[in-house]
Amino acid sequence: MYGVYSTLRLLDPKFPRTSEEPKRIGQRHAGAKKMLLLFLLALLAGAAAFLLFKFATVVDGDLTLVSRGPPRRERVDGKVVWITGASRGIGEVLSMQFANLGAKLILSARNKDELERVKQNILSKNPDSRIEVLPMDLSAGEESLKQVVHAAESLFSNAGIDYMIHNAAFERPKRGALEESEGGLKATFNVNVIGTINLTRLLAPYMLDRGMGHFVVMSSAAGKVPAPGQAVYSASKHALNGYFTSLRSELCTKGIKVTVVCPGPIETPQSSAAASSVQRHSSEKRVSVERCAELTIVAATHGLKEAWISYQPVLTVMYLVQYMPTIGYWLMDKIGAKRLDAAAKKGNTYSWNLIFGGKKSA
């Protein structure tokens, strides 16, 4: 504080020099220090409130993901990207965005006509794109998958697959865990888990030979946290997470990368099967399918191992279950029955009301 005093005296030669002065200036200075501290605290509280507000309203992914920049084009340009479930929904938009980044595409799903439609649509906007259509059924058994993998590897003059986007999935309307039939269970696991794993087992050896390859797995928030009304679907996505995080830990030193993407509710067009077969409420706040595809490519090209894409309240539930499971599961237990109820009444199954509302909320 004497430093301040001497500076002031330097600036103003008439500055008082009595022995009283330094003390008073010191007191005044302490007051200013307090004010400054208060001001900084207020600023910090304001910033925290602002960030919390953002987190509650506009943040649409986990904080690692949303702090990354745009997709890295150089990681995709000229690469071969094989996308399953490319005939509609998230897969269709992913295909368009990968094409915009210069990728060579292989589009797969069961419906060949729909794949052709997607291909023509991309070509009409991006005439230079290189796109092949490769129809396949993930649940058709190993022999058929073997042929498909061989065909995919041979396309684009045997270039081989750089990115395998496991996006196809089978989803049933929401219902209680004990109401799901064995048929529903088998159909879900055959496509979402066994077919996807079989495809991976057949493709990975080619990638290992080249010493590189990247699996991008469209899992779900239901693969991370309880999903009342979707127990079987949730089980299939948990299975995928378990398989692919294990696979990565085995093969990461051999050039194999894995990105597990866990979207919450996504606004796919009404033409989508999930949209027509799964009840949806207009007040559900869903991330747009374009943004979901963009963040998926951000996660893959920035080499993220896992990425969550969702608005609230699902994003908070994911954070709680991951970092404070006791609280997260307690919260989900409050929600479970109400969510089943909401699904039965075709109400909002992603609402804050499920947490804060009364028993009858939907």
Could you give the C-alpha distances from 185 to 89, 159, 188, 217, in angstroms and in order? 23, 37, 5, 20
Which residue from 62, 76, 81, 88 is in contact with ligand NAP, where contact means CB under 6 A? 88
Applying CB under 6 A, which part among 50-58, 88-96, 121-129, 175-183 lies near ligand NAP?
A: 88-96
Q: Name which position in 74, 142, 209, 333 contacts ligand NAG (CB under 6 A).
A: 142
Which residue of the set 5, 163, 206, 233 is catalytic?
A: 233
DSSP string of 330-362, one letter each residue: HHHHHHHHHHHHHHHTT--TT-THHHHS-TT--
Residue 268 found at the interface with ligand NAP (CB under 6 A):
yes
Q: What three-state secondary structure class fits 3?
A: helix
Please tell me whether residue 195 binds ligand NAG under the rule CB under 6 A: yes
Q: Which residue is nearest to ligand NAP (CB)?
A: 89
Smallest separation (angstroms) from ligand NAG to the CB of 188: 12
User: Which of 124-132, 187-195, 211-219, 353-361 is the region at the interface with ligand NAG (rule: CB under 6 A)?
Assistant: 187-195
The CA distance from 206 to 146, in Å, is: 12
User: Which partner from the list ligand NAG, ligand NAP, none does 91 bind, CB cut-off 5 to 8 Å by kind?
Assistant: ligand NAP
Structure tokens at 55: 């987190």
308: helix, coil or strand?
A: strand
Extract the tokens encoding 122: 């991309």
Task: Answer yes or no whether residue 198 interacts with ligand NAG by CB under 6 A.
Answer: yes
Q: Output 199 or 207, the one with its CB closest to ligand NAG.
A: 199
Q: Closest separation between CB of residue 354 and ligand NAP, Å?
A: 17
On whether the CB atoms of residues 103 and 74 are closer than 8 A, the answer is no
CB contact at 8 A, 358 and 335: no
- Work out whether 139 is an interface residue with ligand NAG (CB under 6 A): yes
Measure the CA–CA gap between 29 and 25, rounded to whole angstroms.
Answer: 6
Positions 187 through 216 that interact with ligand NAP (CB under 6 A): 191
Q: Catalytic annotation on 233? A: yes
Q: Does residue 310 bind ligand NAP (CB under 6 A)?
A: no
Residue 259: phi and psi, rounded to 5, are -120, 115
Active site residues: 233
